[in-house]
Amino acid sequence: MECKKIDILLWDIVDKKTDPNTQEIILKHIEKCTVCKAKYNLLIEANKFIDFQKNIEINPFIETRIIEKIRKDKVSVFQKVLQPAFIGILILFSIFIGNKTATFITNQTQKSTNSITYQNNDSVYFMVFNSISQEEYQFLNNK
Amino acid sequence: MYVDDKELMSSLAKDDQTALKQIIKSNKNNMYKVALGVLQNKQLAEDVVQETFVKLWEVRKDFDLTAKLSTWLYRVTINKAISLQRRNKFFTFFSHLNNNETSLEDKKVSFEQQIIDNNNSLKTENIENKQIQKSLKQAIDSLPKNQRMAFVLAKYQDLSYKEIAEIMDITVSSVESLLFRAKQNLQKKLINVYKSIN
């Protein structure tokens, strides 16, 4: 058999997945051919290493580690939800307070501006003299 | 004791930690072998197993009870292992760049460096030939994702083509073809890497 064909079947030979006849023919070739023999030995060693790794067992404390991690995550999930919610509420509250304060200040400024306007107007004298409000004055004025 | 996956997952959905413990007990070693096959590093493989169980706990209420638990666990484990390996490669690349740029006076051991050190520290108590391990690791690393998945599931877990097909969500014939190509590639790369080491 040619080396090229053996190359394709080498893993199957190592895994003993070929039929006994083919296995025998190839093994005979490997005995004679140094290149194929080197490749075969390399795969045998790699397979041995994989078998060795297959027998390694996981750390026996992994179960405790996982349970502990889940317990910690439970707390952190709570924190993850509660903390942003609290911060969000705080931001909304600040915006609300800011808005209210700004409205109050704007109203106050508007009032003082209005009174200044009235002072420069003859209508103020009329209002004061007749003891009427601005609305009443406007009502009369419209009529 | 729970009899089947359905019963186990129903109990898990009700936050039953006994069910979780049983799942861990019966699957941890199989998952570890798969993760170890991909990562070739004990510590990282353990981390992947841990992450997978934590993920299972997170999705316990939405878990499809018709799905096979072990298939789900294998799939998540192998995907997590491959993505962790990709991340490690990224860190390794940047740590190499960093090493070239910075001087030796910076003696801080970075996280990336620790990963590289860990990768090289797999103990081979019973195997003398560390070069085989190194070349095998490099050869497995260089395989395309799907070939690597198929190879690891077949070689490290001795799963049937049908089981691998279920885990990878592909046909049995695709698994056969992937495995054939994986073995051929691995053989070539193993020989090349081994030649370059010696």
User: Which among B31, B135, B18 has a CA at the least distance from the CA of A43?
Assistant: B135
Q: Is the pLDDT of residue B161 over 70?
A: yes
CA distance A130 to B87: 86
State residue A109's pLDDT score.
81
Q: Which residues, at least 6 apart from A43, have a Cβ–Cβ distance to it below 8 Å?
A: A10, A11, A14, B187, B190
For residue B98, the 8-state DSSP code is: H
Which residues from chain A sit within 8 angstroms of residue B58, using beta carbons? 73
A111 by DSSP, 3-state: which? helix
Contacts for B120-128: CB closer than 8 Å, 24+ residues apart = B121/B41, B122/B40, B122/B41, B122/B42, B123/B42, B124/A49, B124/A52, B126/A52, B127/A48, B127/A49, B127/A52
Mutate: best of A16, A37, A62, A67, partner B, most B CBs <10 A: A62
Query: What ipTM score was computed for the predicted complex, to two decimals?
Result: 0.72
Per-residue pLDDT reduced to its tens digit, B61-95: 888 888 889 999 999 999 999 999 888 766 655 55
**Quick count: other Cβ atoms within 10 Å of Cβ B35?**
31
In this complex, do B50 and A8 lie within 8 Å of one another by their Cβ atoms? no
The answer to whether B184 contacts chain A (CB < 8 Å) is yes
Which residues from chain B sit within 8 angstroms of residue A50, using beta carbons? 37, 136, 155-156
Higher pLDDT, A73 or B119: A73
Q: Which of B20, B36, B129 sits opposite A53 (nearest CB)?
A: B36
Per-residue pLDDT reduced to its tens digit, A96-130: 999 999 998 888 887 776 655 555 566 666 667 77
Pull the structure tokens for residue B152.
């690891």
Burial of B28 (C-beta count, 10 Å sphere; 0-12/13-18/19+): buried
Q: Is the pLDDT of residue B112 over 70?
A: no
CA distance B34 to B155: 9
In A, what residues contact B, Cβ < 8 A? 7-8, 10-11, 39, 42-43, 45-46, 48-50, 52-54, 56-59, 62-63, 65-67, 69-70, 73
- The answer to whether the beta carbons of residues B81 and B35 sit under 8 Å apart is yes
